Structure formats: structure tokens, C-alpha cells
Amino acid sequence: MKIFYTFAMATVMLSSTALAGSNESITIGLITKTDTNPFFLKMKEGAMLGATVHGVKLLTAAGKEDSDYPTQITAIQSMVSAGATTLLITPSDAKAIVPALDEARAKGVQIIALDSPTDPISAVDALFATDNYKAGELIGQYAQAAMPLRFSGQPLKIAMLDLSAGHLVGARRHNGFMKGLGLQAVGADSSDLSAATEIVCSGFTEGAEKQGYEVMASCLKAHPDINLVYTVNEPAAAGAYKALQEAGKEKNAMIVSVDGGCAGVNNVREGKIAATAQQYPLTMAAMGVDAAVAYAKHGKKVSGYVDTGVTLIADKTMPGLPSKDTQAGLNACFGAK
């Protein structure tokens, strides 16, 4: 017998024993990059809901910012000591946390990366994540189709608001965007950021609104004629829009982004962002809890990569490019595919 329940638009399958109250001794850990980014808050919500349905104990921790891996290492060690049999983690640094993960796995703990891979990928048992290269490619394709319609005859002058140096998720979104836009780009396995003459300014935002504003404001001072802005996520896009607005140039440049959170989709609806690629962090976490319970009960670990989906969200459709409108995006924002 199977029982189904819904996270937003997603249907997650659980065994009927999940509700039987026999799982109180199971402890699961969730470690996110921050507890301020809406993406990770939705991920935490999914894990908490899954833990409630399964009747298990959930431990949670987060870094102070995207790059705060020391806090994540401390959380790994603390949760293992507290008896967690599975850790779900969005790595703040793909390499720096690997020794701590190795120690945990040596003690029999299952490790599932959510959203962000480790380096090497084999440092975890499984990865539940968006295809970030595809997400970047979708918004690049949208920009390639939309820019001639909006800014006919103008050469591309791009501002790239990236994540951080050497970060594979950020690189995949960057390089996928470049490929979708029709520019030369390295493949999905590279952490290098592809360059092009069309990129007149770039900077790292750590995925934060404040840094997004600062990078965009600096870019506009040097290149006031920027007409296309790529941002690694929607908080950075919100900061970029604020900088454009303050400079009186919000109608002179098109912003495209990745995330698909409720605030970001609303920004698409309001015309602040032209299009975004929607991810499903609640689904990642819910699947992680399911896998954690299965391991604790049956001893079988998950393995490999599971693609949790991505959808282009835009109210102005482009010929030949499948997308959903902002109402559909709001119905599913960060919740499920």
C-alpha cells in the first residue's frame, strides 16, 4: 500500500509505515548554506514537513553566508555525534568540507548533497539537484530570443553577476547562460567562467541582494550602456534592479535570473526580471528525508545524481521556447515541479 501527499504541486510517495509512529529513533541532519536565502528556507520547510510526516527527528544548521564552510563542518561533526544516520547538505565549499564528510561516511552516515555538488562528486552518496547548466541555458536562450525584440539593433553589452570564484553551481549557471545566448562556453563540468567580448562587466555577489546592488552599481558607473544583466539568483537580481532604478536605467536593460522563488516570480510579473529558471528545493529536501528514512530502516543507501527539474518562467513567451507564465510559477514557487 502507498500513501501520497502533496508539497505545493509535487506528489511525494511514502510507505504507509511512515505514519505508524515507529520512526522516533531516526535522526536526520539538514545543513544549508544560510538561513536567510528564501531558497534554503524552502528547503528547510520541505525537510521539516517530511520529518513530521515520517515521525523522525530533524536537526538543522546553516552558515552565516554562502561561503561559511567552517560552520558547516562544525554542524557535520555535531550532528554525527548526536546520532544522525543521514546528513542532507548544501555544501558552502565543494572541497573544504570533504574531509569532514569522509569522516562521517566512515562512521556509516549516509551523505546526500542537495542543490550543490561536492568536489569530488564521489564525496557524497548522492546528489539531488537542479541541472544548473540547463537552468542557465534556458535563460540564455530566452535572452537570445528576447533581446532583438526589446533592443533592436543594439549590440549586446552584458553584466554578469556571478556567485563566487571556483563555485561549480555558479559556474554551471554562468556557462549554461553563455551557451544558451549563443556565445562560446565551456562544458558543465568546468568551474571556470566563460568569457566573451560582449561581457563588459562582471562581479561576485555571493547570491546576496546587497552584493548584487553593489556589483551592478559599480558596473553602471563604468558602463552605463549595459543592456543585458545575468544574475546567478533572484536576490542578486533584486539588488541589480535597485541599482538600475536608482540610475534611471531600469528600462534600458533586461535582467534574467535563476531561482523561481515567490518573490522572484513576482518580480517577473512586475517586469523587474524578464525571465527566471525555476528550481524546486522543497522537493530536493523531501526526497532527501525519504531516502534518509529508507536507509535508517533498511540499510540501503541511495546513489548517483537525481535531477529535480527546472522550468522557464516568463509572461512574454518566445517562439519555440517552452515556458510557463508567472501564475504557474507562483503556484509552484520553490515548492515542486
Q: What is the pLDDT of residues 65-98, one digit of tens each?
A: 888 999 999 999 999 999 999 999 999 999 999 9
Q: What is the pLDDT of residues 278-335, one digit of tens each?
A: 999 999 999 999 999 999 999 999 999 999 999 999 999 999 999 999 999 999 998 8
Q: What is the pLDDT of residues 103-143, one digit of tens each?
A: 999 999 999 999 999 999 999 999 999 999 999 999 999 99
236 inside domain: yes
Question: Do 65 and 104 fall into the same domain?
Answer: yes
pLDDT band at 10, cuts 50/70/90? very low
CATH of the domain at 220: 3.40.50.2300
Question: Do 79 and 179 fall into the same domain?
Answer: no
Contact 271, 105 (CB under 8 A): no
Residue of 335, 230, 243 lying closest to 274 (CA atoms): 230
Question: Do 9 and 69 fall into the same domain?
Answer: yes
Question: Do 247 and 263 fall into the same domain?
Answer: yes
pLDDT band at 9, cuts 50/70/90? very low
| pLDDT score of 337 more than 70 | no
> What pLDDT, on the 0 to 100 scale, is given for residue 336?
58
> What pLDDT, on the 0 to 100 scale, is given for residue 291?
97
Q: Would the CA dihedral through 245, 315, 183, 178 be positive or negative?
A: positive
Q: Find the angle CA(206)-CA(72)-CA(25) to the nearest 5 degrees.
A: 135
Question: Do 217 and 121 fall into the same domain?
Answer: no
Residue of 257, 237, 241 lying closest to 249 (CA atoms): 241
| pLDDT score of 39 more than 70 | yes
How far is the C-alpha of 117 from the C-alpha of 102, rounded, in Å?
15
Q: What is the pLDDT of residues 159-183, one digit of tens each?
A: 999 999 988 999 999 999 999 999 9
Question: Do 152 and 289 fall into the same domain?
Answer: no
Q: What is the pLDDT of residues 210-259, one digit of tens each?
A: 999 999 999 999 999 999 999 999 999 999 999 999 999 999 999 999 99
Domain that holds residue 226: 132-278+312-332
Question: Do 65 and 209 fall into the same domain?
Answer: no
pTM of the complete model: 0.86
Residue of 68, 58, 63 lying closest to 29 (CA atoms): 58
337 inside domain: no
Cβ contacts of 245 within 8 Å, gap of 6 or more: none
Per the structure, the count of domains in the chain is 2
Dig out the grid coordinates for 319 from the structure. 517562439
Residue of 36, 84, 100 lying closest to 64 (CA atoms): 36
